[in-house]
Copies of this chain bind each other. A is one copy, B any other.
Amino acid sequence: MNQDYIIPNAWSILEEGFDATMVKSSESLFSIGNGAMGQRANFEEKYTGDTFQGSYIAGVYYPDKTRVGWWKNGYPEYFAKVLNAPNWIGINVLINKEELDLNACKTVSNFRRELNMKEGWLSRSFVAELQNGIEIKVESKRFLSLELDEVGAIKYSVTPLNSDAKIIFSPYIDAGITNEDTNWADQFWDVLKVSQNNQQSFVEARTMKTNFHTCTFMQSRLFVDNEEVLTDCNNKKTDKTATCSYQQEINQNQTYTIHKFGGYVVDRNRDKNELVAAAKCILDKAVSFGFDALLEIQKQSWAKIWKMSDITIEGDVKAQQGIRFNIFQLNQTYLGTDASLNIGPKGFTGEKYGGSTYWDTEAYCIPFYMATKDQSVARTLLEYRYKHLDKAIENAEKLGFTNGAALYPMVTMNGEECHNEWEITFEEIHRNGAIAFAIYNYHRFTEDYSYIPEKGLEVLIGIARFWHQRVNFSTDKNKYVMLGVTGPNEYENNINNNWYTNYIAKWCIEYALENIETVKLDHISDFIRIKEKTNFNDDELKSWKNVADNMYFPFSEKHNVFLQQDGFLDKELITVADLDQSQRPINQKWSWDRILRSPYIKQADTLQGFYMFEDHFTNEELERHFDFYEPFTVHESSLSPCVHSIQAAKLNRMEQAYTFYLRTSRLDLDDYNHEVEEGLHITSMAGTWMSIVEGFGGMRIINNMLSFTPRIPKGWKSYSFKVNFRNQVITVNVSQNGNNFELEGKEEVKILVNGELVNVSPNNLVTA
């Protein structure tokens, strides 16, 4: 049974009633972030119950020494761990000398938490009776500013309800934090200096090994019944913490409020030697704005984001809440403004998996950012991989490849591989294909070819060289085969001729060849530069072509389908429907060998190919493969339901498409995988967006035009989404009664709706 405690609401994530067993879940679900930093929804005040503390700074990581049982040649020396950063949100609260701790109160009532996605803030309120008999009402609100992205603000109020009380607020910053995810229980932070300057406190610390210098800072303002009080603070330092205490006698029903401003400055984008000065400057600015003004700016910032990326759904509040939660979290994680960042699988909501960049970025996230942001954001994501090309070539060299062959890492923070399972690190090489596909996808969507001669072609050449070397000729099959790979379906390891991998390898080679030709014709100076740099020649290209032309694809005549891999039909082909439900999820119930020899598929594999290369196949072929593979699919990857939702929609199986949609959009809200307390599945959230836009909306690029085939699930009245297509924004409104299209832009656009040409002119609602 999945969880079901989040209250449905169109714009907010809501929790009512205090349940200590749900604290870690909610800490994930109510996480906030602003692209530069983020944090779990930990309580400000002390909490002695079960909690998972987490605050994260984008791009700041720790290279944790690799831990394996049995070392294999080629394993990386370290795994880049997402790093729990110093805590700046803490406020200890003393009420008549008793410390407020929700785990130690006599009673807690009226507990309510809200993550307001429209405006980008988190609030919490409750009434608690302390052991000393004092009853208090607490309200807190906090946000991480999008405008000033090094700063966050908290407004925290206490109202004694049944007597006067002496209240002490002790806001603090604390660098004595640890990671839950650590291989060797290393210390990750080295605290350099704790300093206090009247109302401002600073903790300077650097990360071990990576030597990122940071300054965590805070400053507070105090209010009684909204009247600012200028009390002196009582400053205290330890070797890792700075605390300021403010005390006040508060009458019954009076409210004592602290506005705490805090955050981080980091030498990733600041002068290492001027961090405290920078922090002061930021604090001065934030404090002078004040909490309310900063919050007002926050609302405006989020309004801008929503204007472009919102999807509305009428008639299904859970679906509405789900999609907005996904869009909100994606925007909290990555905004496309810093070219050295990427979209980590857990964003700023947990430590698990480590690294910041997986193939998820190219396969799932780029379409979302491409359609809901300025197209420069997608280009920035492509350039991220271009910057890592040399490292990808080194990575391939470690595995025995030569001549500039590039293998992009499975998991990375800075371009170096940091994963260490041979069957994944060395064999789940299809990731290389997604990186080439993203270049194609970007050009197809934006029509911006300039990226390819400038940067993309070098990436394509490195990838083509990898595939060309990775196959070998089978005299037995008289074809090129690819042995020992792991496909997107990670429930198969070290298999031969994974259809998806072979297919994308062939495509990558052909796409590289095609672009070498185009660049030669249209961008001769780039061509000369690239030819000189990469040193390819006609013989090499001929040899590539030979491989692409003679690639082997396993196929079953009997079933008339491509086989996921050699030997797939030898399996005991019992469908998931016929599998004993007590055995699910198989990744928690079965040993690995049993999973491997079963036919069960973790996530789209052959169907991932049919998704990416949909236009290479007929609808009948899609249907046949969907009907063959989906029944064996257990969807135990967060990346699975979205692809299947899109394909089910395409096959006009709207009920199934809707089921998959709910599963992807509410994966974390309803905790389908029973692991939400570890953090959210950020990258798969882009798949949710695709489920609506490409699935229900049927958006494609066909003949260089935007095309839609709108469908609507049974219970929905209507839904709408926007697409930023080549710098013009098209709004698509789909309802049970018909569909219309609207253009914000300058020039008329031709689109296809259900295959028919439709002209959409600016600011004119077109029904089609």
- Residues of B close to A474: CB separation below 8 A: 569-571
Q: Does residue A72 face the partner (Cβ distance < 8 Å to B)?
A: yes
The reply on A399 being an interface residue by CB < 8 A is yes
Expressed in whole angstroms, the Cα–Cα distance for A72 and B70 within the complex equals 14
Q: Report B-chain residues with C-beta under 8 Å of the C-beta of A558.
A: 476
| A476–B422 CA distance with the chains assembled, in angstroms | 30
Distance between A487 CB and nearest chain B CB, rounded to angstroms: 13
Instruction: Give 1 or 0 for each of A468-510: 1 = CB within 8 Å of chain B CB.
Output: 0000111111000101100000000111110000000000000
**Does A97 lie at the interface of the complex (its beta carbon under 8 Å from any beta carbon of B)?**
no
Q: Is A592 interfacial (CB-CB < 8 Å)?
A: yes
A590 to B472, CA, bound (A): 17
* Contacts A69-B421, A73-B591, A420-B69 given; does A494 touch B572 at CB 8 Å: no
| In the assembled complex, A708 has its CB within 8 A of some CB on chain B | no
Q: Among the interface residues A573, A592, A596, A597, which one has the most CB atoms of the partner chain B within 10 A? A: A592
B residues less than 8 Å from A495 (CB atoms): 494
Task: Say yes or no: is A427 at the interface (Cβ < 8 Å to chain B).
Answer: yes
Residue of B nearest to A484 (CB): B597
CA distance A587 to B590 in the complex (A): 31
A504 CB to closest chain B CB (Å) equals: 18
Q: Smallest CB–CB gap between A76 and chain B, Å?
A: 11
**In the assembly, what is the distance between CA of A591 and CA of B423, in Å?**
11
Interface string of A398-431 (1 = CB under 8 A from B): 1110000000000000000000111100110000
- Chain B nearest Cβ from A416, distance in angstroms: 15
Number of copies of chain A assembled together: 2
B592 touches A426 (CB 8 A): yes
Q: How far is the CB of A745 from chain B (nearest CB, A)?
A: 49
Per a CB cutoff under 8 Å, which of B66, B573, B594 touches A69? B66
In angstroms, how far is the closest chain B Cβ from the Cβ of A497?
8
A591-B69 in contact (CB<8A): no
A484 partner residues in chain B, CB cutoff 8 A: 593, 596-597
Shortest CB–CB separation between residue A363 and chain B, in angstroms?
22
The answer to whether the Cβ of A90 comes within 8 Å of any Cβ in the partner chain is no
A530, chain B: closest CB distance, angstroms: 29
Instruction: Tell me which of B74, B472, B475, B596 contacts A597 (CB under 8 A).
Output: B472
Q: How far is the CB of A573 from chain B (nearest CB, A)?
A: 7
> What's the minimum C-beta distance from A175 to chain B, rounded to whole angstroms?
27
**Is the CB of A618 closer than 8 A to any CB of chain B?**
no
Tell whether, in the assembled complex, residue B68 and residue A69 are in contact, meaning their CB atoms are under 8 Å apart: yes
A570 touches B481 (CB 8 A): yes
Q: Which of B69, B423, B496 contacts A567 (CB 8 A)?
A: B496
Contacts of A592 in B (CB 8 A): 72-74, 422, 426
Cα separation A472 to B426 with both chains bound (whole Å) = 29
Is the Cβ of B572 less than 8 Å from the Cβ of A472?
Answer: yes
Q: Is A717 an interface residue (CB 8 A)?
A: no
What's the minimum C-beta distance from A466 to chain B, rounded to whole angstroms?
13
Known: A66-B69, A483-B570. A400 touches B590 (CB 8 A): yes
A484-B597, A597-B483 are known contacts. Are A570 and B69 too (CB-CB below 8 A)? no
Q: Of A421, A570, A590, which is in contact with the most chain B CB atoms at under 10 Å from its CB? A: A570
Cα–Cα distance between A592 and B400 once the two chains are bound (Å)? 11
> A768 → chain B, closest Cβ, in Å?
48
| Pair A476/B570 contact, Cβ less than 8 Å | yes
Q: How far is the CA of A379 from the CA of B55 in the complex (A)?
A: 63
Chain B residues whose C-beta falls within 8 Å of the C-beta of A703 in the assembled complex: none
Hey, which chain B residues are within 8 Å of A597, CB to CB? 472, 483-484
User: Within 8 Å CB of A589, what residues of B?
Assistant: 73
B494 touching A596 by the CB < 8 A rule?
yes
Identify the interface centre among A67, A73, A474: most chain B CB within 10 Å of its CB.
A73
Per the bound structure, the CA–CA distance linking A493 and B593 in Å amounts to 11
- A312 CB to nearest chain B CB (Å): 41
Whether, in the assembled complex, A197 has its beta carbon less than 8 Å from a beta carbon of chain B, the answer is no
Asked if residues A399 and B477 are in contact (CB atoms below 8 Å), the reply is no
Q: Complex: how many Å from CA A72 to CA B73? A: 21
What's the nearest-Cβ distance from chain B to residue A328, in Å?
31
Most buried by B among A67, A69, A496: A69
Query: In the complex, A590 Cα to B72 Cα: how many Å?
Result: 9
Binary per-residue interface labels of chain A (422-442) against chain B in the complex, 1 for a CB within 8 Å, 0 otherwise: 110011000000000000000
Most buried by B among A66, A566, A594: A594
**Chain B residue at minimum C-beta to C-beta distance from A573:** B475
Distance in Å: Cβ of A483 to nearest Cβ of chain B: 4
Choice from B399, B473, B497, B590 contacting A73 with Cβ under 8 Å: B590
Q: Nearest chain B CB to A482's CB is how many angstroms away?
A: 9
Closest 6 CB pairs of A and B: A74-B591, A426-B593, A476-B569, A483-B597, A484-B597, A474-B570
A-B contact pairs, 13 of them (CB 8 A): A67-B67, A67-B68, A68-B68, A69-B69, A73-B588, A73-B592, A427-B593, A473-B572, A474-B570, A476-B558, A483-B567, A484-B597, A566-B570
Q: A70-B421, A400-B594, A484-B593 are in contact. List 20 more A-B contacts (CB 8 A).
A: A69-B69, A73-B587, A74-B591, A399-B593, A422-B592, A422-B593, A423-B494, A426-B593, A472-B571, A472-B572, A475-B569, A475-B573, A483-B571, A483-B596, A484-B597, A493-B493, A494-B593, A496-B570, A497-B570, A566-B566
